[in-house]
Amino acid sequence: MGLSMNRLREFREQAGLTQDRLAVCVKVSRQTINSIEAGRYVPSLELALRLGRVFGCRVEDLFGIPEVDDAGKA
């Protein structure tokens, strides 16, 4: 739910990268980048870390913080 919305596209466009070039940078296929931007699935931790490194930001800046959550938390 929360994670299917991310700021990947925003970061990528601001960096002036195509999906293809970003994909090469982080060593996945172009479709993987596209699917993540489209919210079709959330990346693995490894990929998320690589993306954060490319953009010089925290993983939490790209994905996350949404899920405050479920009441019975603690």
Q: Decide if 5 contacts 39 (C-beta within 8 A).
A: yes
> Which of the choices its own copies, DNA, none does residue 25 contact, using the CB cut-off of 5 to 8 A by kind?
its own copies
Question: Which residues in the 15-34 window bind its own copies by CB under 8 A?
Answer: 25, 27
Q: Is 71 in the site for its own copies (CB under 8 A)?
A: no
DSSP-based three-state secondary structure for 56: coil
Q: Is 42 in the site for DNA (CB under 7 A)?
A: yes
Q: How many residues does the chain have?
A: 74
How far is residue 29's CA from residue 6's CA, in Å, rounded to a whole number? 18
> Which of the choices DNA, its own copies, none does residue 52 contact, using the CB cut-off of 5 to 8 A by kind?
its own copies
